[in-house]
Amino acid sequence: MEPFSRDSDIFRSEHVLRDSYTPDELMEREEERQDYIQALQPIANASVPQNIFVYGDTGVGKTDATQIVLGELKDATEEYDDVDLETIWVNCRDRSSYDVVTQLVNTFRSSSEEISSTGHSTSRVYEFLWEEIESCEATHVVVVLDEIDSLGEDDSLLYQIPRAESIGNLEETHVGLIGICNDFRYRDGLSPRVTSTLCEFEIRFGPYDADELGAILEQRADEAFYPGAIDDGVIELAGALAGQDTGSARHAIDILHKAGTLARRQGASEVTDDHVREAQRLVEESVIEQELRDLPTQSHIVLYAVTALEKADRAPARRQEIYGIYEKVCGQVDATVKSERTVLNRLNKLAMKSFIETTDDNQGKAGGRRYEYSLNIDIDLVVNALRADDRLRDATAGPSLAEE
Ligand SMILES: Nc1ncnc2c1ncn2[C@@H]1O[C@H](COP(=O)(O)OP(=O)(O)OP(=O)(O)O)[C@@H](O)[C@H]1O
Ligand SMILES: [Mg+2]
C-alpha cells in the first residue's frame, strides 16, 4: 500500500476502540445501573447524599458506569429548582491524599488562583476545600475518587470528605463521595472509621462472561468497523478468549482492536479468527511486559542476572551463581547490594508471578535438595522491559556479565 493512502477497508472509526472512548450506553450492566440509581436517589430528592463504594476487577466498567449514571443524574436534576449538582472527578493513581485535596481545591479555582501542591499544611488545604465547597453555587457536590486503592494507607481523605458537612461546618452544600477501587482487599484494609461512612452503599462489578463480552464487542464493532469487515464468529471468539482469561471488557476490546490493526497491516479485506488469535497473543505479551516494567529496580537486577545466565547458556542456575552476577550488576549500576537471602526472596516472588521457573534438582540423600532457576517467559520480553528501566539501560546494552 502507498504510504498514507486511505486504509479504508477495515476501520470506520478506530477511536471507538480506544480506552479513552466512553459509549453512550453500557451493555449488560442493568442491575449495577439500578443499584447506582437507587444509591444516588437522595440527590434527586434534594436530600443528603449517600457515600458509595464501587469495586470490581480492572476493565469491568466501573469508571464508565459512574460517568454515565452521573450524567443521567445531572440531566434529571436540571428539572428541579432545588438541586444544583456539581461533580468533581479525580483519579488518585500515583497521588497522595494531600495531592488529591489540592487538586480538588483547584478544580474550583481559576488558573491564576490555584494553590501549589506544596507549601500549605494539610489542615489548611482542607479548610480551603471546605470554603470552596460552601461558597460554590451548587447545592450538592459529589466527589468521585477513582482508583482509591493507590492511596494505600494514606486514607485520611476518605475519612474527611464524607464528614465534610460537620468538619467544615457546611450549611449551604451537601457533599457525597463515590470511591472506586479495583482491589477488594483494599476495603478490608481500610480503617473502620473510613469503612463505616464510605461504604454506606456498596456496588460490586463482577467479571463479564463470554456472552456479555460478545454483546459489548458487538456494540463497539458496529461503530468501529465497516460492515463486512468483521463477522460474528470473530466477535464471539474475541469475547470467549477474554472471558476465559480475565472477564475484562478492556481486554476484549484490546483484542478486537489489535486484530483489526493486524488485518489492516496485512492489507486484508476482513478480520479473521487467525487475526484474533494472534492479537490475543500480542495483547497478553504487552500485559506481561507492562507487569515486568512495573517491578522495582532490585527485582529488575535479579531478573537481569537470570537473563544473563540464560544468554550464556548457564541456566537453570543455582542461587549462588545468580547472586554472583547480581552483585556485579549492582556494582555496574551503582545499586545497593542486598543480602543473599533478600535476593532469594525476590527470586521466589518472581517465581510466584511466573516470570521465573524453579526446578528442584534433587541430589538424593547425600546432596540434599537444591533449587535451580531459569526464565519462564520469552527472553526478548524481559530484555525490552529491562531496557525501559533507566538504571539498567546502559547495563543491558553492554556485553553479558555471565560470559566470562
Ligand atoms: N458494560 C459495558 N458496555 C460497554 N462498554 C464497556 C462496558 N464495560 C466496560 N466497557 C468498556 O471497557 C473499557 C474498560 O471499562 P472501565 O474503564 O469502565 O473499567 P474499570 O472497571 O473502571 O477498570 P479499571 O479498574 O482498570 O479502572 C472501557 O473502554 C469501557 O467503555
Ligand atoms: Mg476505571
Domain ranges for the chain: 30-205, 208-292, 295-397
Closest CA to 158 of 135, 132, 187: 187
- Region of 63 (left: φ > 0; alpha: ψ -120 to 50; beta: rest) is alpha
Percent of the chain with pLDDT over 70: 94
What does the alpha-carbon distance between residue 370 and residue 313 come to, in Å, rounded to a whole number? 19
Q: What is the pLDDT of residue 152?
A: 77
| Overall average pLDDT of the 228-239 stretch | 94
Radius of gyration in angstroms for the set of CA atoms belonging to the chain, rounded to a whole number = 26
Q: What is the pLDDT of residue 301?
A: 95
30-205 with 208-292: one CATH topology? no
Q: What is the pLDDT of residue 228?
A: 92
Q: Which CATH architecture has domain 30-205?
A: 3-Layer(aba) Sandwich (3.40)
Q: What is the pLDDT of residues 130-179, one digit of tens each?
A: 999 999 999 999 999 999 998 878 888 999 999 999 999 999 999 999 99
Q: Considering every ligand atom, which ligand is closest to the CA of 20?
A: 1
- Region of 21 (left: φ > 0; alpha: ψ -120 to 50; beta: rest) is beta
Q: What is the pLDDT of residue 403?
A: 61
Higher pLDDT, 345 or 154: 345
Ligand 1 neighbours by CB, cut-off 6 Å: 19, 22-23, 26-29, 56, 58-64, 182, 216, 219, 249-250, 253
Q: What is the pLDDT of residues 284-302, one digit of tens each?
A: 999 999 999 999 899 999 9
- Residue whose Cα lies nearest atom 24 of ligand 1: it is 58
Q: Considering every ligand atom, which ligand is closest to the CA of 59?
A: 1
Q: For a substitution probing ligand 1, which of 15, 19, 54, 63 has the most ligand atoms within 8 Å of its CB?
A: 63
Q: Considering every ligand atom, which ligand is closest to the CA of 181?
A: 1
- Residue whose Cα lies nearest atom 8 of ligand 1: it is 61
What does the alpha-carbon distance between residue 99 and residue 115 come to, in Å, rounded to a whole number? 11
| Overall average pLDDT of the 46-71 stretch | 96
Residue with cell 479485506: 269
Which residues make Cβ contacts (< 8 Å) with residue 228, sequence separation at least 6?
A: 270
Which residues make Cβ contacts (< 8 Å) with residue 73, sequence separation at least 6?
A: 40, 43, 44, 85
Which of the four CATH numbers 1.10.10.10, 3.30.420.40, 3.30.565.10, 1.20.1250.20 does domain 295-397 have?
A: 1.10.10.10
How many Å lie between the centroid of ligand 1 and the Cα of residue 254? 11
Which atom of ligand 1 approaches the CA of 212 most closely? Answer: 1
How many Å lie between the centroid of ligand 1 and the Cα of residue 181? 13
| Overall average pLDDT of the 321-331 stretch | 95
Cβ count near 180 (within 10 Å):
24
Which of the four CATH numbers 3.90.470.10, 3.40.50.1000, 3.10.20.810, 1.10.8.60 does domain 208-292 have?
A: 1.10.8.60
How many Å lie between the centroid of ligand 1 and the Cα of residue 163? 30
Q: What is the pLDDT of residue 165?
A: 93
Which residues make Cβ contacts (< 8 Å) with residue 44, sequence separation at least 6?
A: 73, 76, 77, 80, 83
Percent of the chain with pLDDT over 90: 81
Higher pLDDT, 193 or 367: 193
Residue 369 has pLDDT above 90, yes or no: no
Residue 8 has pLDDT above 70, yes or no: no
Average pLDDT, rounded, for the chain? 92
Q: What is the 3-state secondary structure (H, E, C) of 204-249?
A: EECCCCHHHHHHHHHHHHHHHECCCCCCHHHHHHHHHHHHHHCCCH
